[in-house]
Structure 1
Amino acid sequence: MSTTTHQSKLKYFQLVLILGFLTALGPFSIDMYLPGFSAIATDLNTTVAKVAMTLSSYFIGISAGQLLYGPLLDRYGRKKPLFIGLLVYILASLGCAFVTDIDTFIGLRFIQAVGSCAATVASVSMVRDLFPVRDIPKVFSLLMLVVGISPMLAPTVGGYVTDYYGWHTVFFILMCIGIAILLAAQFGLPDTYAPDRTISLKPKPIILNFLSVLKEPQFYTYAFTGAIAFSGLFTYVAASPILFMDLFKVDPKTYGWIFAFMSLSFILASQLNSVLLRWFTSEQIIYGALLTQTITVIAFLIAAENNLLGLYETIAMLFLFLACIGLSNPNTAGLTLAPFAKNAGSASALMGAIQLGLGALASFAVGIFLKDSMVPMVIIMAVSTIAAFVLLNVGKRKIKVRY
Structure 2
Amino acid sequence: MNALTRVLIGLIFILGPVSTDMYLPAFPALEHDLGHGAGSAQLTLTAWLAGLAIGQFTLGPLCDRYGRKLPLLCGLVVYAAASVGLALTNSFHAFCILRFVAALGGAISSVAPRAMVRDVATGSAGVKLMSQLMLIFGLGPLLAPSIGSFLLDLGDWRLIFWANVIFGLAMFLGTLCFLPETLPMERRFALPVSGMVARYRDLSREPLFCSAVMVVSFATFTMFAYLSNAPALFEGILHFSPHMFAIFFGLNGMGFILGSQINARLANRFLFTRVMETGMLSVLVFCVLGVLVCLTGFAGPGDPWILCVLIWCTTFSLGFIGPNAGILALTHHGHQAGAASALMGTMNWTIAGLAGVMMSFLPTHWVGSTSVGMLVGISGCWLCDLWRRRLDPESYLSVRH
| TM-score range relative to shorter protein | 0.7 to 0.9
Identity %: 28
Cα shift at 1:77: 4.2
Which among 49, 52, 63 is matched to residue 53 of structure 2?
Answer: 63
Aligned to 2:248: 258
Tell me the C-alpha RMSD between the 2 structures: 3.6
Q: Does 1:182 align with 2:172?
A: yes
Structure 2 residue runs of 5 or longer lacking an equivalent are none
1:347 counterpart letter in structure 2: A
Aligned to 1:200: 191
Cα shift at 1:173: 1.2
Q: Within 5 Å, which residues of 2 pair with 1:93-104?
A: 93-98=83-88
Aligned to 1:83: 73
Aligned counterparts of 2:365 and 2:43: Cα–Cα separation in 1: 17
Deviates more, 1:69-78 or 1:301-310: 301-310
- 8 Å contact 2:142–2:250 — kept in the other structure? yes
After superposition, what is the alpha-carbon deviation per residue over 1:49-88, rounded to whole angstroms, capped at 9, x for unaligned? x645544543333232222111122334444433332232
Aligned to 1:361: 354
Inter-CA distance 361–111: structure 2 relative to 1 (3 Å threshold): farther
Q: Within 5 Å, which residues of 2 pair with 1:179-328?
A: 179-189=169-179, 194=185, 198-202=189-193, 204-247=194-237, 255-277=245-267, 280-304=270-294, 308-310=299-301, 312-328=305-321
SS across alignment from 2:14: helix
Aligned counterparts of 1:108 and 1:239: Cα–Cα separation in 2: 27
Inter-CA distance 191–317: structure 2 relative to 1 (3 Å threshold): closer
Aligned to 1:8: none
- 8 Å contact 2:300–2:367 — kept in the other structure? no
Structure 1 residue runs of 5 or longer lacking an equivalent are 1-10
- 8 Å contact 2:131–2:260 — kept in the other structure? no
- 8 Å contact 1:55–1:363 — kept in the other structure? no
Cα shift at 1:263: 0.9
Cα shift at 1:23: 1.8
After superposition, what is the alpha-carbon deviation per residue over 1:219-266, rounded to whole angstroms, capped at 9, x for unaligned? 222221331232111222233344445555656665444332211111
Cα shift at 1:344: 3.4
- 8 Å contact 1:86–1:116 — kept in the other structure? yes
Cα shift at 1:14: 4.2
Deviates more, 1:259-268 or 1:370-379: 370-379
Aligned counterparts of 2:271 and 2:69: Cα–Cα separation in 1: 38
SS across alignment from 1:344: helix
Number of residues of Structure 1 aligned to a counterpart in Structure 2:
390
Aligned counterparts of 1:38 and 1:312: Cα–Cα separation in 2: 31
Aligned to 1:116: 106
- Provide the TM-score with structure 2 as the length reference: 0.80
- Provide the TM-score with structure 1 as the length reference: 0.80
- 8 Å contact 1:31–1:155 — kept in the other structure? yes
SS across alignment from 2:335: coil
1:261 counterpart letter in structure 2: L
